[in-house]
A and B are shown apart, each in its own frame.
Chain A
Amino acid sequence: MARIVLDGIAHSYLSEPRRPADWALKEINHTWEDGHAYALLGPSGCGKTTLLNLISGLLTPTKGRILFGEEDMTGLPPEARNIAQVFQFPVVYDTMSVFDNLAFPLRNRRVPEAEVKTRVAEMLDIIGLKDKARRKAAGLSADEKQKISLGRGLVRSDVAAILFDEPLTVIDPHLKWVLRSQLKHLHRRFGFTMIYVTHDQTEALTFADKVVVMYEGEVVQFGTPAELFERPRHTFVGYFIGSPGMNVLPAKVDGAEAMVGSHRIALEGSYGRPGNGAEIGVRPEFVRIAPAGEGVPVQIRGVEDVGRYRIVRTLLAGHELNAIAGEDEALPAEASALFDPGHVNVYVNSHLVEPEAR
């Protein structure tokens, strides 16, 4: 096991990339520390699967180097890299039994049969398929097949990292919880480096210690779930993470105040005068709907009750503003919105600005 270093890698599927748009993945420098759980989050087409396949060796980067520890892996094929990968659709060897499926990567590496037996038996126990060991893999359900794919990755003792490419796509919501918690559990038990690709923010944030958010072939932010939630560095991150996403309102920022239309919103810290292109970003979770007069006046356009909370869709000076109301909160007919100043971020040209003084 070792850390994985991406040294200036970039990838294009074209043989002669010319324009910036020809690159599926623009230059990335990044280090994956040993034993951590990471997520790669972004919309489809953002380059996250490309990045994953570069790490596993299914693709060779157009530029740059990939190091495992000190060793240069750039040109090596997947089988030489000690990487396991779980795909979106479960891959099982239909004609083999569950046992043989799990034994397959070991037998390919000429592990002695006695050791294969003990290791596979242990893995069957971990993934909870002990009683189906002799069954043909073809007849199993989607989640069981996905467990086999996972088990085939984990059964090898030599893996440096396990890569997941949207592994829960075909799994029912209830089973997603079960499988995800099993993954977490396995991560704690074995301490493999795990890299998990998904477009689903809940999966990414709950799975990972640190999340890489990607957009159009670039990394837009790398941080802990809490950082991504509270201090999105780019308005895209604010929009993409959170459901509904962050409210972004054009504003005139002056010192510790922002003006949205004619309404004054307090900021924490002073931002000077950033000029044109300034916006404030505030998450619906940090907007509270109060009776008129307490905050800036808003007009409620709709309320969606999703059970444990409600999404309140309002207009503030002509801009959409979403707020989250708890299940017990009463909503006034004449409403205003209160902003939590500590959670109002300032953006200029979509990028986060740090306050000059707090």
Chain B
Amino acid sequence: MDKPWNNKAWFLVLPVVVLVAFSAVIPLMTVVNYSVQDTFGQNVFFWAGTDWYEQTLASERFRDALVRNLVFSFLILAIEVPLGIAVALAMPRKGWGVSVCLVLMALPLLIPWNVVGTIWQVFGRIDIGLLGRVLADIGIDYNYTQEPIAAWATVIVMDVWHWTSLVVLLCYAGLVSIPDAYYQAARIDGASRWAVFRYIQLPKLKHVLLIAILLRFMDSFMIYTEPFVVTGGGPGNSTTFLSIDLVKMAIGQFDLGPAAAMSIVYFLIVLALSYVFYTVMTKTGADRPGGR
């Protein structure tokens, strides 16, 4: 379906173009600029070509962090998407329960990232934290500053707590838009609860799920604040994700060139994976009848 045309509309878009240029394009170009040069301070730059890129791709440190990122995003999607769908399915469709559930679901989304980190940092401490203390008391060896598994568990639980709501809200919106006749027809056809989910709800949720998965993938792949606050990337390097490593390299070691090259590679990976998700999910059963 094509749109009404109006050339004046372009002027209205101009502020956004300018804003995006300053906030995204120009910084990105600066990063590109850094990534092909070397500097020792005093604003003196030397051409480095693709050296930093080669170094980044060859670096074990980078590859380890990348693997951690991939595992983390995979776990996040594997937990949050099914959990989000399940919670959305369990939510009431009418009555006073709807608004109660919606408000409860929205609460975690309202809390800033670093506050979430701090909450869980305190919550999980074995001396004063409720969770840490309870776990320690029932004999589970939980110490996120010492144990890599505990640290990972903390970061994942924290992210699930923080962001599953987003998936829930998107899915809920998708579910309530399914006409009643579909459920009625399915009941008459003798469909099981599972068949209703598989053949009615899931297909109708496809579009919102695409958005949910894309958002959650991009966000989890770029995770920074929570592990930074809670674990600081440790113990050892066990929760050092690409973003944390990047900051260490750029701010801590002031290796601007390698950090810039790493940023670009990082950016391209996010872009490529998002694209793959998008095409795979839109390709399956793409025929949507177009109206005239």
Contact = CB atoms under 8 A, between A and B. Distances in A.
A and B touch in the complex (CB under 8 A): yes
B41 interface: no
Label chain B's interface by main secondary structure: helix
B289 interface: yes
Interface string B172-197: 00000001011011011111100100
A227 to B, nearest CB: 32
Given A89-B179, A138-B287, A108 B189 contact: yes
A58 interface: yes
Given A93-B200, A139-B289, A149 B185 contact: yes
Contacts of A78: 184, 187-188
Interface in A88-135: 88-89, 91, 93-96, 104-105, 108-109
B199 interface: yes
A146 to B, nearest CB: 12
Interface string B183-217: 01101111110010001100110000000000000
Nearest to A87: B181
Given A94-B285, A136-B285, A88 B188 contact: no
B94 to A, nearest CB: 12
B185 A91 contact: yes
Contact of B190 (A105, A138, A139, A149): A105
A104 B182 CA distance: 14
Contacts of A136: 285, 287
Contact of A88 (B181, B187, B289): B181
B55 to A, nearest CB: 47
A104 B288 CA distance: 22
Contact of A85 (B184, B191, B192, B195): B184
Contacts of A83: 188
A332 interface: no
Interface in A140-161: 149, 152-153
Nearest to A94: B203
A306 B134 CA distance: 84
Contacts of B189: 104-105, 108, 152
Interface residues of A, number: 27
Contacts of A93: 199-200, 203
Contacts of B185: 85, 87, 91, 149, 152
B289 to A, nearest CB: 7
Contacts of A149: 185
Contacts of A60: none
Nearest to A108: B190
Contacts of B192: 108
A81 to B, nearest CB: 8
Contacts of B199: 93, 95-96, 104
Counting chain A CB atoms within 10 Å of each CB, which of B188, B190, B203, B285 scores highest?
A: B188
A79 interface: yes
B203 A58 contact: no
B209 to A, nearest CB: 14
A67 to B, nearest CB: 19
B285 to A, nearest CB: 6
Nearest to B192: A108
Nearest to A149: B185
A91 B289 contact: no
28 contacts: A53-B184, A58-B184, A58-B187, A58-B188, A83-B188, A85-B184, A85-B185, A87-B181, A87-B184, A88-B181, A89-B181, A93-B199, A93-B203, A94-B203, A94-B204, A94-B285, A95-B203, A95-B285, A96-B199, A104-B199, A105-B188, A105-B189, A105-B190, A109-B190, A138-B288, A152-B185, A152-B189, A153-B188
Given A83-B188, A91-B185, A104-B191, 12 more contacts: A58-B184, A77-B187, A78-B188, A79-B188, A85-B184, A105-B188, A105-B190, A108-B189, A136-B287, A139-B289, A149-B185, A152-B185
- Interface pairs A-B: 3 shortest CB-CB: A108-B190, A91-B185, A105-B189
